Amino acid sequence: MSRKFSRRDLARLAGAGSLAALGGGANVFRNRRGIVGLAHLDVGAAAMIQPQDADRAVRAAIRAATGARTATTGLAAIFSPADVIGIKVNCLAGPRLSPRIELVRALARALHDAGIPAKQIIVFERSTREIRRAGYPIDHPGGPFRITGIDNAYFPEIAVSGSIGSLYARLVVETCTALISFGVVKDHDLAGVSAGLKNWFGVIHNPNKYHDHHCNPYVADVVNHPYIRTKLRLTVLDGVSAQYDGGPAWRPGAGWPLRRVAVSLDPVAIDAWAWKTIDAERVRRGLPTLEKAKRPPAFIATAARYGLGEGDPAKVREVP
């Protein structure tokens, strides 16, 4: 599918500094630094999202994040039809606090419209067990994307980035030319926040070694390696329901209906937005902020220092 841009589209992309993204640029997020696109989606925690509602919310958030006239135009500015796109989902907490598959399917439909064939979209998690437990069907031929677990298939050479030395998933190293982080909005008992950046702990073989000091600088170091940094193009968060305490596992009674889908080309800004959002809910419920609870998500500032994006929550701009 060829990509066609109207004069209005080109003007908007140029105004956002995004013309360098045409054809799919690995660092396209720099041109929309600090911007988080938001869309409203009101549905019960256990209710199935209708496809038309999922499409509307996901595409609206993409439009807001990219500044393009349509989601198709925005995605076509980020990805090439030749790309093999890996969508890393965070299914650690099981079906109650994982990205809803209806939203992942909506993202895949939007990518199809932007010219990406189904066979070149791979939804994956650390293990087949985790992704299956979250309700994702494994090995469904003819579906809108491939679904798989990493299942210990790691590239055999140790990769060093800052303070980490890890084996990265072969899928990330050898197969995917572009990456999307698809996480949730939740508290983390050590890192403070688990949203888009910490999701990438799921592609290394030894994340258990990197939880000291609120996972700082380790989360930022994992993402700063070229295996991730040069391929990460988009972050999507399922914020329909969120969790303000007790994470990363699902904790009964600690969730609230946030009713948002969030998208950003800036992987740091969207985590800063999640941090601000979780803190606001904690304060509303009489709990201390994450900083006062002595588990600030310090890796966000480190990622910003590495040049990965905007880390100051006060400078993040929400675009509905």
Strand, helix or coil for residue 113: helix
Which CATH architecture describes the domain 35-319?
3-Layer(aba) Sandwich (3.40)
pLDDT for residue 138: 77
Distance CA 62, CA 85 (A): 16
Cα 112 vs. chain centroid, distance in angstroms?
19
Distance CA 132, CA 125 (A): 10
Distance CA 62, CA 9 (A): 14
Q: Which among 39, 49, 102 has a CA at the least distance from the CA of 71?
A: 39
Please report, for residues 16, 85, 149, 258, the alpha-carbon distance to residue 19 in angstroms, rounded to integers and kept in the order given.
8, 21, 35, 33
Residue 13 vs residue 104, higher pLDDT: 104
Confidence of residue 140 (pLDDT cuts 50, 70, 90): low
Domain ranges of the chain: 35-319
Residue 12: pLDDT over 80: no
Judge whether 96 and 44 are in contact, CB under 8 Å. Answer: no
Strand, helix or coil for residue 163: coil
pLDDT for residue 280: 98
pLDDT for residue 144: 83
Confidence of residue 6 (pLDDT cuts 50, 70, 90): very low
SS (H, E, C) 231-268: CEEEEEEEEEEEECCCCCCCCCCCEECCCEEEEECCHH
Residue 293: pLDDT over 90: yes
pLDDT for residue 143: 76
**Residue pLDDT, tens place only, 193-228:** 999 999 999 999 999 999 999 999 999 999 999 999
The type of residue at 179 is L
**Listed range (51-60, 138-147, 198-207, 309-318) with the worst mean pLDDT:** 138-147
Residue 20: pLDDT over 50: no
Confidence of residue 152 (pLDDT cuts 50, 70, 90): very high
**Listed range (14-23, 39-48, 90-99, 242-251) with the worst mean pLDDT:** 14-23
Average pLDDT, the chain: 90
Mean pLDDT, residues 263-268: 97
Which residues are CB-contacts of 142 (< 8 A; sequence separation ≥ 6)?
A: none
Helices (H), the chain: 7-15, 51-66, 71-78, 101-113, 128-133, 170, 218-224, 226-229, 267-284, 299-305
